[in-house]
Structure 1
Amino acid sequence: MKIGLIGFGKAGRAAAAVILQNKSASLEWVLRRSTVLENRSAAEFLGIESSDPSLIYSLAHTPVAALLDEHPVDFIVDFSSETGIEAYGEEAAKRGVKIVSAASHYPESTVEYLQELSKRTVVFWSANITLGVNFIMYAAKFLKKIAPWADIKISEEHFKEKKGISGTAKIIATVLDINEQDINTTRVGGIVGRHEIVFGFPYQTVRLVHDSISREAFGNGALFAATNLTDKTTGFYRFEDILRPYFVM
C-alpha cells in the first residue's frame, strides 16, 4: 500500500513515523506548504531506518498533479488543515487515489465537496482518527440503545494550555444527544488527552475510557482506515462505517 502524506506538523510527523515502521505500507512522499525540510527524507529526519522513499516536497515548488503522476500512490493521508483538501482533492479524484482525511474540522461546504469527490474515489474523514475513541463512541451508542433510561455523563481531561471543550468530547455529546454544558472539563499538567463516558444504572456503573498516550495513535487510526478501505472503489466513509462489520457477531 503506497501512501502520500499531506502535512508534516506534530500530528503529521507522528503519522509518518507509524507508516514508516509498518511493513504493509510504504511512505512514498510527504507534501507540505512550507519549504522547510524540502528534499529531505522524512525517515532520515525522524531518525527511523526505512527503505521507504519518504521524500519531502513543498507545494510552493511541486504541483500536486506532477507529484501524483511521477510518484503514484494508493492513498493520500491528510494531516494538514481544513483547507488542505482544496490543494489535492480534484487531482486525487481524477486518478482514483483514495483519501483518508484526519482534519479536525470541516465547514459544511467542504463536507459537501468531500461527498462530491467520493463519487469518483474513496473518501474517508474522521475528526478524531484514533481507533480507540471511535470504538468507545460506537460502543456507547449501542449501550444507550440498550438502556436509553441510563444516566450518561462525559468527562474530558487535557493539558493545562488547551482552551475550551475538546472537539472529541463535543462529538461524543452529539452522538449521545447530550448537552455540551453537561461535559466535565479538566485542564491540568501535561495530560495528552482522556475521554470518559459514564453510564449510571441502578446498582451498577459502566465506564468507557480512552487515554491518548502519544500522537502516534493518529497514525495507527489512519492506517486502520486505509487497510479497511483497500477493496473499495468509491464512496464517502466515516469511522462508524468501517467499524460496523466488526460488531456483527
Structure 2
Amino acid sequence: MILTAALSRTQAGKDVGIVNRIGEWGISLTDSVEDALEQGQPDVWIDFTTPEQVKRNVELAIDAGVRPVVGTSGLTEEEIKQLDERCREQGIGGIIAPNFALGAVLMMVFASKAAKYLPDVEVIEMHHDQKLDAPSGTAMKTAELISREREEKKQGHPEEKETLEGARGGYRDGFRIHSVRLPGLVAHQEVLFGGPGQLLTLRHDSMNRESFMPGVKLAVEEVMNRTGLIYGLENVMDL
C-alpha cells in the first residue's frame, strides 16, 4: 500500500513523515478534502475524524470514486443507507466499522451468540476522556447484535428507582449501557451476562491504536473487491 495524501486541519503544509516523527516522506499535509482527493488520486479514503465532519468527507470521497474505510462513529442508520446508495451508484465498495480491532469484533459476535442463552445483559464501555460520543460506536453495535438475538426484556426490579439520575446507564431494548471516560484508557469494553448462579464476562482491551491496524488493512483490501457500503467488520470476516 502507498500513502498518496494526508489530511490535517492543524498541520497543513507540513510533511506527514516529519509530523509523525518517522522521517521526511515528501507528502505535505493538506486541510482540504478536495485537494487530498485530487492530488493523491487514491483508491481508498481512510477516515478517523469526527462525527461532525465524517459524512461530508465520505460523500466527497465516494463522488470522486474513492472507496471509504471509516472508523468514525456517529453516523445515523439513514445516513449509512444514503452512503450505501451512493457507493452502489458509483460501483464501488466501502466499509464503516465501529471498531477495527479484530478482538473487539470477535467480542461483539460472541456476545450476540451468548444473548440467545443468557438474555440478561449489561454493557460497560470505557474510553479515554477526550472521546466525543457516548455510548461508543462499539457499544451501540454490540447492543444492535444482541438485540437481534433476544426479545426485549426489561431487566432489574420492576419498582427500581434511580436515586441519582443516570446511575443505571442508558437504556436499550431492556438492558443497560454504561460509559466510562478517564485519562489513561484507550478503548475497552465488557459485556456481562447473568444467569441463575453464574456470570459470563466477555472483555476486550485495546492498549494502543496499533490494535486497529490489522482490521484497517483487511478493510482496505476488501473494499477493492466489493460494491456497496458494509457496516461492521464482522461482515467481511470468515465467522
Identify whether the pair has TM-score above 0.5, normalized to the shorter chain: yes
Say whether the 8 Å CA contact 1:28–1:55 is kept in structure 2.
no
- Identical columns (%): 23
Query: 1:54-100: CA deviations, max 9, x gaps?
Result: 431121xxx71x5434422111001223333324624x335532111
2:28 is matched with which residue? 55
Q: Is the 8 A contact 1:117 1:123 kept in 2?
A: no
Q: Judging changes above 3 Å, is the alpha-carbon distance between structure 1 residues 215 and 182 closer, same or farther for their aligned structure 2 residues?
A: same
Cα-to-partner distance string for 1:112-154 (whole Å, 9 max, x where unaligned) = 3311222122121123333322221112212334x2x453232
Gaps of 5+ in 2: 153-170
The match for 1:117 is: 86
Alignment pair present for 1:221 and 2:215: yes
Q: CA deviation at 1:111?
A: 1.9
Structure 1: gaps of 5 or more residues: 1-24
2:122 counterpart of 1:153: yes
Structure 2 CA distance, aligned partners of 1:69 and 1:58?
13
Are 2:158 and 1:176 equivalent residues in the alignment?
Answer: no
Residues 196 and 27 of structure 1: CA distance in aligned 2, closer, same or farther (over 3 Å): same
Encode CA deviations 1:193-247: one digit per residue, 9 max, x unaligned.
Answer: 3211123455654322111212333444322311233322x2111223112xx12
CA–CA separation in structure 2 for the residues paired with 1:191 and 1:70: 37
3-state SS in 2 of match to 1:26: coil
The aligned counterpart of 1:131 is 102
TM-score w.r.t. the length of structure 2 is 0.72
Separation in structure 1 between the aligned mates of residue 207 and residue 100 of structure 2, nearest angstrom: 14
Aligned match of 2:115: 144
- Select the residue among 187, 193, 210 that pairs with 2:204: 210
SS of 1:132's equivalent in the other structure is helix
Tell me how large the CA RMSD over aligned residues is. 3.1
SS in 2 for 1:105: coil
- The residue number in structure 1 matching 2:14 is 40
Structure 2 counterpart SS, 1:191: coil
**8 Å CA contact retained: 1:105, 1:127:** no
Q: 1-side partners of 2:106 and 2:144: how far apart? A: 16
Letter in 2 for 1:38: A
TM-score by length of 1: 0.69
Report the secondary structure of 2:4's partner residue: strand
Match of 1:28 in 2: 4
Matched, 1:236 2:210: no
Q: 1:27 to 1:176 in 2, by over 3 A?
A: same
Q: How many residues align?
A: 210
Alpha carbons 2:93, 2:224 under 8 Å: kept: no
